[in-house]
Amino acid sequence: MKTKSLLVTLLALSSTLQAAESDTTVHHEISRLTHLLSDLTSVSSYAEKIALLDELSEVHTYFAEASPLRTFLAGLSQDCEYTIKATFAINQGPRLFDVPANVVDPVPYFRRLLDELLVIDDFFKDIGGIVGYQCLVLSILAKTDEPHEEVTFKPPPGIDLSKEDTLEVRHAILEGIRSQKHMAEFYPVGGAADRLQLKDGQTGKGLPAACLIFQGKQLLEGMVHDLQAREYLYYKLFDEQILTPLALMTSKVNRNDDHIQEICVKNQWFGRPRDSFKFFTQPSVPVFTEAGNWCLKKPLKLQLRPGGHGVIWKLAEEKGIFDWLHSLGKKKALVRQINNPMAAVDYGLMAFLGVGHEKNRAFGFASCERRVNAHEGMVVLKEKKTAEGKVMAVTNVEYCDFEKNGIKDKPRDETSAFSNFPSNTNILFVDLEAVQEAVQMLPFPGLLVNFRMGNHYLPTEGIKKEPIARLETTMQNIADAFAIPVQEGTPEDLPTYVTFNERRKTISTTKRKTVSD
């Protein structure tokens, strides 16, 4: 996995550099880092990698002179030395490790910063760690608004679930209930929920979206109760008690992981065995400016945010979640985002799952009409020209990437408030083996950057407000790995599928604080 994905990334970076026509300074840096990345991957030991970094003027110029950081470096292991010097190799180190005059002993700050950097370097090791991460960030920032690939987007074909009384829908409902014994569920609950502005009433500190009260229950509690209702329905129909394992992806932002586990403990694990829950924590990634410079929250403290729910598949592989589910005999899984409590209303969810089981699909999207200008992604049939020919896939395009992909967010006709493309609701059906294989090829699906105004600290200016962003991934774009050649079939032959249902029964995302709050 690692060698293949790294080589693919290197080739993509080189292609991006050749195609782009904007800031030559950025392109020079991409070229420099791409060559460095190639050199680093040609050696295996940290000693060899450090020797390569020491040859760089960005590194040896700084460490040639005495400094607190050079003294700190002398007592570190080689992996720690490499990680610190990598930040200098990408021209971020002098700012990150700048010691203010009022800091008498910087060592504790160095250790904390190093711990954060080690996590980043390890998580992105498939693309070359910190150096590869920065190379990837710059390559995305350097792209022009117009896509360089020859890509077309069409509305995807799908199955209408809005009419319950049809034979096809009734059969799908029954199949969804019958197959519940083979299911697991993934809950990505680690998002920062910045726009929601949910606060602890006593401490004033931020809370994760899972803590929001809806119909007298916290959102996480409601999702587990939805699951238990389906399990009970299975029991009543088939006289067999089943237990669906739950995999929850949390984060460290706003004590997210602690809050999620506290909800489970408070509810006595919802009457379920403790070992039917698995928690895994998504790493946070550096926030950066439009120039690609990493942001500080304060002196010697990186500004980090969760890197999007697309890391769920890579983490599930690395943390043994897939192996755990296979050991329990589970074949498929439902993925539900925490901020969509209406998704289990009525029969729609069961019918959606039933279609996936009946057709033995690798991946599925539960979709509905999408309002024009809504901050929602859209499900599309994507056709892309490659060196081997044209391929197609049902996938997702996030709203912040519409312009870059040449998609105009227009109504399907003059009288409609709805888009020509359906909404991505983050309700997904996955075949565990298929996705486990897909992540070998696509460890970071749906890479995107979405700038928003924010504050960060600069050693020379103090707090500065400007557009900042982080590199995000999207879990639904693992579907890109299931593309097939256009000449080998029709969209109906894809291993993916889409269902359509009424919007009010499919999506009701909780993203923003209301005026009454």
Tens of pLDDT along 149-202? 689 999 999 999 999 999 999 999 999 999 999 999 999 998 766 666 777 777
Q: Report if pTM > 0.75.
A: yes
How would residue 344 be classed by pLDDT, with cut points 50, 70 and 90? confident
Judge whether 192 and 305 are in contact, CB under 8 Å. Answer: yes
Q: Is the pLDDT of residue 27 over 60?
A: yes
How would residue 241 be classed by pLDDT, with cut points 50, 70 and 90? very high
Q: Is the pLDDT of residue 144 over 60?
A: no
The overall average pLDDT reported for the chain is: 90
* Three-point CA angle 425, 431, 432, nearest 5°: 110
What does residue 147 show for φ and ψ, rounded to 5 degrees? -65, 145
Q: Is the pLDDT of residue 262 over 90?
A: yes
Percent share of the chain, pLDDT over 90 = 73
Tokens representing 386 are 């490659």
Q: Is the pLDDT of residue 334 over 60?
A: yes
What does residue 148 show for φ and ψ, rounded to 5 degrees? -85, -20
Q: What is the pLDDT of residue 341?
A: 83
Return the number of other C-beta atoms located less than 10 Å from residue 417's C-beta: 12
Integer Cα distance of 228 and 224 in angstroms: 6
Q: What is the pLDDT of residue 405?
A: 86
* DSSP letter for each residue of 205-223: -B--GGG-EETTEEHHHHH
Q: Order of strands across the sheet with 484-485?
A: 151-154, 378-386, 389-397, 484-485
* Three-point CA angle 491, 159, 333, nearest 5°: 90
Q: Which domains does the chain have, with CATH numbers?
A: 2-142 (no CATH), 151-505 (3.90.550.10)
Mean pLDDT of 382-408: 90
Q: What is the pLDDT of residue 145?
A: 44
* Interval 209-234: pLDDT, tens: 888 888 888 999 999 999 999 999 99
DSSP β-ladder status, 183-188 and 246-250: parallel
Q: What is the pLDDT of residue 211?
A: 86
**DSSP code for 444:** S
Integer Cα distance of 200 and 183 in angstroms: 35
Judge whether 367 and 395 are in contact, CB under 8 Å. Answer: no
Residue 167: HSE in the Cβ half-sphere, 13 Å Cα cutoff: 0
Integer Cα distance of 179 and 431 in angstroms: 13
CA separation, residue 489 to residues 147, 180, 484, 485, 486 (Å): 26, 31, 8, 7, 6
Instruction: Reduce the DSSP state of residue 301 to 3 states and report it.
Output: strand
* Interval 49-92: pLDDT, tens: 999 999 999 999 999 999 999 999 998 999 999 999 999 999 99
Mean pLDDT of 397-407: 89
Integer Cα distance of 308 and 321 in angstroms: 18
Tokens representing 136 are 């990837």
Mean pLDDT of 33-57: 95
Bigger pLDDT: 409 vs 364: 364
Percent share of the chain, pLDDT over 70 = 91
Integer Cα distance of 420 and 154 in angstroms: 9
How would residue 359 be classed by pLDDT, with cut points 50, 70 and 90? very high
- Which residue, among 487, 509, 445, has the nearest Cα to 8 in the 3D structure? 445
Non-local (6+) Cβ contacts of 461 within 8 A are none
Burial 248-278 (b: 16+ CB within 10 A, else e): bbbbbbbbbbebbeebbeebebbebeeeebb
